[in-house]
A and B are shown apart, each in its own frame.
Chain A
């Protein structure tokens, strides 16, 4: 059981706090001969697998390291273009490590504002009167839970689909936010939360919630 991450979005759709609590690593390293059995394509300053799944390498995975040395976006550590390097037969055999690309802080901001509008559209397209926005979004690998306060702040928690007790966790996070962010005299409203006490108490609450296990507290 796990809680993957927490996002706090202000009423304008800006991300004011983000925490990655638990990130399962899926990385695969393999030595290749020339030519490569995978199709690689540059995308958003990364080199991604576009076609060809094998040995734990999946479509969408990014090149993380070549011959054990981490790459820097689309470039190798010594500044050469990754795709050019891999097109040169003289560099083979080569060991490449692949993994799911990590979200950059810019992408996190973008995803937070994206969810902000999805939330609004979800309520506009409702077939029933007086519907809220998206409260829970389910996929096969995670569930997203969202709690919007009366003042418009959204607390979003990503967790394992079987994790329970998220509703009380969301209320708890709201409480921690009111106690440690809002009562902090150096905190200005709607701005990113940089407050150690908030951090500590949030992490504590996440650990308590995770211990509740798959079937909730009391079982």
Chain B
């Protein structure tokens, strides 16, 4: 077990991508989150999973309890806006009647799941029915109106024409269905970030069973941390079943150095914000959830 101050605890880290061509068609990166949940469903490790499905507006995510491969695949692709994944966590064990719940989400949502497991407050049955969590790397998120502003004003694209969005190499990228590509410097998006993200001290979903993200691996591939015993068991089986191509993370560029660098940047910056909240007013502090 490796215990890294910025990357959390993990057993191994690899670069990987799905071998399922259909999943890869619309996956954001290596199709890891989708493939893992589909595999877990098919193997009976989970009987349903919370994913970020399509919402009522273009590129507005909406949490969904998916109980089929088809529904899981609907959630492919990053939506850079808030999807309150955990709002379905208890209901998944109620009207959906699930025994083994899967959860996908970003770092703070993995934190919410672990808190509900250790300190279930009006969360009866949840602690023992969370069966598998897959967490995404996350630098920050945007309210829907922010996303609209970024795409429609800064990138000058119509949201309904967009095929894919991506943050990488210092830019926010917008790809349209008809093949156009627009980008804007990530710096221009900073003021639209969700303020609650500025106190977040987790980049690579430290509390997930398995976490995955694009940074560190080449395009079309994902960087994957296998963290818990459960995560390790599922990952090993899935690899043995031929679900993934993998490479040791040491053999890929830019590799873990870049992941560590970005994790450190995020955590150091946000630690400073948490610190500054202590003297935000005159002899008055803002609240610190970590105190």
A and B, one complex?
Answer: no
